[in-house]
């Protein structure tokens, strides 16, 4: 997941929260802050990882936003 992000040098991810949703907890949602080298929050990332119950296929999505809320990356892929 991290290789799909557009991070500037010195920026890193900090996990803010995670939760499982769905009738069997088949979807995990991770929310991250993007922090620069001085500790300021400069953006956010939401990563969703879902196991499809019919066929047990995995689908993931990634949304990266800057501090103003503009979408930088919105990707969806299957494993």
- Residue 72's pLDDT is what? 97
User: What pLDDT, on a 0 to 100 scale, did the predictor assign at position 27?
Assistant: 95
Least Cα distance to 19 among 9, 34, 29 occurs for 29
Q: Round to whole Å and give the CA distance between 77 and 79.
A: 7
In this predicted model, what pLDDT tens digit does every residue of 35-75 receive, in sequence order?
999 999 999 999 999 998 887 899 999 999 999 999 999 99
Of 33, 35, 29, the closest CA to residue 10 belongs to 35
pLDDT of residue 33 exceeding 90, the answer is: yes
Higher pLDDT, 57 or 16: 16
Global pTM reads 0.90
Q: What is the DSSP letter of 58?
A: E
Q: Which helix (H) or strand (E) holds 66?
A: strand 58-66
């Amino acid at each position: 997941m991290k290789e799909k992000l557009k991070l500037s040098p010195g920026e890193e991810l900090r996990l803010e929260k995670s939760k499982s949703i769905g009738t069997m907890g088949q979807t995990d949602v991770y929310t991250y802050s993007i922090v620069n080298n001085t500790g300021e929050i400069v953006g956010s990332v939401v990563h969703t990882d879902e196991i499809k119950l019919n066929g047990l296929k995995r689908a993931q999505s990634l949304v990266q936003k800057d501090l103003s809320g503009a979408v930088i990356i919105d990707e969806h892929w299957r494993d």
